[in-house]
Amino acid sequence: MEKNKKYILKGAGVLLIAVALIFSSVAVTADTVKEQMNPRYLKATGPSMSVENSPSTTGAVIFEQLPFEPEESWIFMTSDVDPGYRVWDEYWDLDQPITDIHWWGLSLVYPWAACDPTGMSFEIIFWDQLLGNPICTYTVQPTATGTGKFYAGFEMYYWEVDLDPQCDQIPNGWVTIQGMGSQNNCWLLWAGSDDGDLYCYQEGSGDNFNDAAFQLTGGEEPAVPRINCDAVGMNFGNAAPGATVTGQIYVCNNGDPGSYLDWYVDTASAPAWGTWTFTPASGTGVAEGDCVTVDVTCVVGEEEGDFSGVITVFNADDTTDNCKIDTSVTVPRARYNALIWNLFEQFPALYQLVKIIFGA
């Protein structure tokens, strides 16, 4: 809860700061870069320019250290194979295996200049608690996503990797993310954070009294939606040949908390004794506990008799999960002329009496 609160406070006022600093950011950038020609890091005390937030993380976050905001005293630490540096940081109190890792950083060349991150590859290693043994090792080439946040004039990027297989180094351990190069010879400068224990380690440099910015997500089972339907007025009773009758179907999500239902009506299998319209005929994103209303219109055919059938509504993500709506209509025989039929419509009990008398 404290981390989430801190993240909210960090993000507050970002747009106002961006507007206030946009005219001064160029001058600040020039001074900052001139003072920070050290291949081990890039750091400064704000201001810098920030326009947008980082991409939203999907999955269940089981450990999190968020990056410094541009207006703070920030640092980015070189963690790259070319200069022989690597940054280590620890995590703790995990209660499930690690399925994804997310991190933030800059893509630069030295002396510090922007570098296109396309094609950058990384080696990710999870180590035991004593840093004695590598437990899980991955070599990956994820796509960099721009965050719209600028530090000394350089845009911060965001990377995300699904770990296959998952890493079972729990509950405590260390992680290293090291740039392995690209066609542009870009270096990874791993973003700093102050969300953890204020300690990480850079080979060749030693202790750093800040953290590295990363998130770990776990393998919790996804919330599963379940479809449920209620019908109103779908047994239409008596209707003249060619008449239009109406009803409603309520499509509800009775699934797990946090689930969302995508659904559709099997319009192709609607009963052939009428011409059907479903409004809407499909939908997405019905939250658990919520329902949507489907308005149903049917133009009854000309054939007389008693008709029945079933309308099926499917969970779009699991067609074994569906609900069936019974529907029916009675179209009277042609010997009843229009005048008599109008009478029957006004007095349904009279119609039933006539049916009994004539054995209809």
Tens of pLDDT, residue by residue over 274-300, are: 999 999 999 999 999 999 999 999 999
**Residue 36 clears pLDDT 60, i.e. is over it:** no
Instruction: Provide the pLDDT for residue 298.
Output: 97
Which of these ranges, 5-9, 221-225, 317-321, has the smallest mean pLDDT? Answer: 5-9
pLDDT band at 347 (very low <50, low <70, confident <90, very high): confident
Q: Give this prediction's pTM.
A: 0.54
Both structure tokens of 306: 């008693």
Read off the pLDDT band of 47 (50, 70, 90): low
- CA 103 vs CA 31, 151, 168, 214, 352: distances in Å: 27, 16, 19, 4, 74
Fill in the amino acid letter for 33: V
End-to-end CA distance of the chain: 71
Please give the single-letter amino acid code of residue 57: T
Q: State the pLDDT confidence band at 147, using cuts at 50, 70 and 90.
A: very high
**pLDDT for residue 118 is more than 90:** yes
Q: What is the mean pLDDT of the chain?
A: 84
55 three-state secondary structure? coil
State yes or no: pLDDT of 49 exceeds 50.
no
138 CB-near residues (< 8 Å, 6+ apart): 123, 124, 125, 161, 163
Full set of structural domains in the chain with CATH: 2-218 (no CATH), 227-358 (2.60.40.10)
Question: Is residue 249 within 8 Å of residue 311, measured between CB atoms?
Answer: yes
Q: Specify the pLDDT at position 339.
A: 62
Spatial distance between the Cα atoms of 304 and 294, rounded to a whole number of angstroms: 27
Q: How many CB atoms lie within 10 A of CB 180?
A: 15
Residues contacting residue 339 through CB under 8 Å, at least 6 positions apart: none
- Give the residue-averaged pLDDT of 337-346: 66
pLDDT value of residue 214:
97
SS3 content of the chain, % helix, strand, coil (to 5): 15, 50, 35
Q: pLDDT of 130-142, one tens digit each?
A: 988 999 999 999 9
Residue 259, CA distances (Å) to 88, 262, 274, 279 in order? 37, 10, 35, 23
